[in-house]
Structure 1
Amino acid sequence: MRGNRVAASRPPRVRARTATIGAFVVLAAMVPAAASAAGSQEVDAELPYICAFPSGELPATVRVSAAFPDRAGAGEAFSPTGVTTTVELPAEAVADLTALGAATARAATRLTVGVTQNEAAAEATWRGTAEPVTLPGSGPLALTTTGDVPSVTGRSDGDLVFSAGDLAVDLELGAADGSAADPGPLTVDCSLAEDAPEEGLLAAVPVGTDAPQPSGPPSLPGSPPGPSGPSSGPEEEQGERAPKVTEGTPGGTAADRDAPPCRYDENRPPTSASLNAYVTGYTNVNKLKGASLLPVSCMLIEQGIPGDGPPDPDHLVFDTVSQGDFHYEGRKRTPPVESTFLAFGFTPVKATMVLEQTGPIRIDSRIKMRLSDLLTIGETYIRAPLVLRVTALEINGTPLDVGPDCTTEKPLTSPEPDPANHPGDHVVLYGRGEQVFGEDATGYMLLTGGPLTGEVTIPAFTGCGTGGERIDRLLTASVSGSGNYVKQIQGQTCSIANPVFETPFTRGECTEDLQPYQIPVPER
């Protein structure tokens, strides 16, 4: 390696893979969450850096582009989107690389981003990767990387301020014949120049009740309104605490991550068709005039065998029926979540709730492959029989014994697009995605994840309370109803039989102990 330092952390990259079958269900537990941003602020910052190249320190220009929310609620996690990092290498730096025998370079970046709120501070690492580029014979070179970044949660009211800090550029150098260049991987360390404007400021996101209130996201054609604002504040008391940075894709095992365990075991051993993934998201709860959160939850999926779909002169069509299950502490349910909301607009109610399956979750997927341009289109309907269970309740500060059987009187329901073939009470979610062979998927695909949307009706509650203190009507009046829009996000799946682990230039799909590598962030 001739003294070249190999990067200690590994930047993420989602591999492009053609999905051949289905998708699976996610659904929101009916617990109010903090408000989400209505819009975004676009950032394109150009910053001066000093980088240590083999011949010595040289100036470099770094451009960071991203979209931040206009505002966020205290206690609400969000991730900047569309993040790109462009490192403009001077001609002298390019000459250094060619002198090492390199003809191509593949870049991965690790940008340290400081996150401050009031007097508290934390750090996040923004990772990005790029495809190999040919080094020019002379002149400068721009290397642009993209990638997902950690989510950030403001713990109290006050601006969350994001500032660029140290940058590491990992370079995988290639020779003209396609082999690895003799020096091997090279890491270039860069620091913000002393004359950088505003100490590397990228953006400031207002957080809390003093931030401008959103008007709500636009609705898709033919769909209900998107998830709306909060019906309550954050669960924790306000105060000056460090912003919470949640890495969505740390390496190693999943033991210390901000997510429940998600693995197969002797009670449910995997098969050659087994996948697992994390899911999360929001839904509107119309009666509470707010949105509710599904905590990060584990799904175990068994892929079906694709069969021929209906004839199509322009596509190869495959239909697949698969099955998915929530998995938490050995049961088919979500983790419990405690939340506080205002019933009838004035009565504070704190509830702990979970979603439980009453039967198998059915995944109907149709994949259409167009050979003329190698485009794959996937459409998926997910049908899940789920009841909402309340395990603890406190009204106006007074605990009430809800008993062991406080649930919706029947499973939650949705409008059914095909009632003749799929009778019964279940939630229906829909996902659509596209993927050109060799490129990343857009929308929803089973292997790469994405958004699923739908509409849910919450039935009346029953079995709530003990003795003479029946509170079924309170819960029914404050929560039950129709037209609640749902948007759920699935992370990248882990294929248990063929796991993909992280490398310096590729984001893993599985942790070392075969749990999902990616932890998704809910979106509105």
Structure 2
Amino acid sequence: MHTQTPVTRAGRSVKVASVAGLALLAGLLSGGGSAADESPGPVSLAAACGTEKSDVAAVAAAVALSVDVPDSGEVDRPVQPGPVSFGLTLSRADLAALLPEGAEAVVSRAALKVKVAQNGESAEASWELNAPSTPLPADGDVTLVHSGEVPYVTFGSAGDVDFSLGEFTVELRSATAAPEESAPPLATVTCRLKEGENGHVATTHVTAPGGIEPSSSPGTPATPADGAAGGKDKDITVEPAAADEDDPDWCPVEPPVGDVDGSEAPQPPPGAPVKETNLPGVFMCANALGLANVQKLNGAMIINDPDAPALISVMSTKRTTNRKASEEGGLYTRIDSIATLDLPDAESTFLTFGFQPVTAKVSFENGPMTISIGSVNPGTGKVDFSTVYFQQSLRLHDVRINGTPLDVGDNCRTSKPFKVVLDGGDSYKNVALGGVLEGEVDIPAFTGCGSGGEDLNPLFTASISGPGNRVFMNQAPTCNPANPTRSYCPPPLPELPGTKPST
């Protein structure tokens, strides 16, 4: 039995039912997306903060840290925590003492020192997060909500892993300064957790390759007796590797361009203001394979060629959107990435009316893909949605019926771009780890089909156009060419959806 009952396959042979299947071939290959494993919600901690000019324990602060960490990982394969949401709450009076007189709003950057401990060894990961402009009220408390994606961690041995927060610093900058200005921060606040706070954030379990457990169960993660971070370099690796000029071109695609469009992602419910921050992003690439069901002709076909797949170009974390939890509404966090997929013309043979062999080529025009991940779950902070959205048009040409050319003209295409929205549900991971996405496509009517006065638009519209065309995509983990040894380079191939038996 296949996991996707509308899809049927026998080995590598797939019955391609119609031009509609061909039309879905390339443009529906979306890239990343995201939804990590569930976490119990934000960790609440108490901290004491100060500046170089004051006692570090002079200011009391409240911390709310939320991060999704996979339940399990494998030795020598990157484990990707995140995305991360980090809220720091200070009183307006304490902020007034740190900032110049008359400051009405600030932007901030948080640098968190996170201890990663396993089998008595530990290393330190640096999590760099950003908060958009935050207005400063006349009194009361001020919460600075930071977010972002954080580095991979690779483990050289099996065992339980503990992530815990240590010291952190927050730079407060003028909200009116241009992003390119390099003026020093208005204030730099250093914070340490108060006595009695252990800083535990998350736990994951690392197995040997293939999920094999070690012969003896490792002990509870612990910090070395001297308290030093580091341990054996080969056991826990969190620092990015330097790029080698002689390295292969792991991602032979251009970085994506275009504007982020998060309109199809779940939007924040009415309530407190939402803040957006634009970021430079991180270039990555990945492979994805899928199957598309054709509703009208009860058939399906493979999306992308498993033998020579086209790569998805991804710029991860281009924009963050945040809203703090309040009486007006719950916590909202969204991270948008942008991706592109450019495929050559595809060719396939299909059957119309169940017996007539037809061969055709299709050209695809895909708009930029927006990959949105985040949470609209009030107060929990867990990642609970992943959405991929883009617009697509298609053009048909070089059509042959039983070997005889059918002149459809040079501009036989969908009458307008159509919307492609894919949902990751509980299975799709973040942009770095990938996963399965699915959705439905409504193909519009065709126009410009035919030549010599012959109108073939009704034929293609009747046999192809319409709603209910299911799409199933599986994106593999991404390759980060700047850090190939810390990511999945060369980009691996994922399993084709519907080929793995149900358990």
TM bin (shorter chain): 0.3 to 0.5
Q: TM-score, normalised by structure 1?
A: 0.41
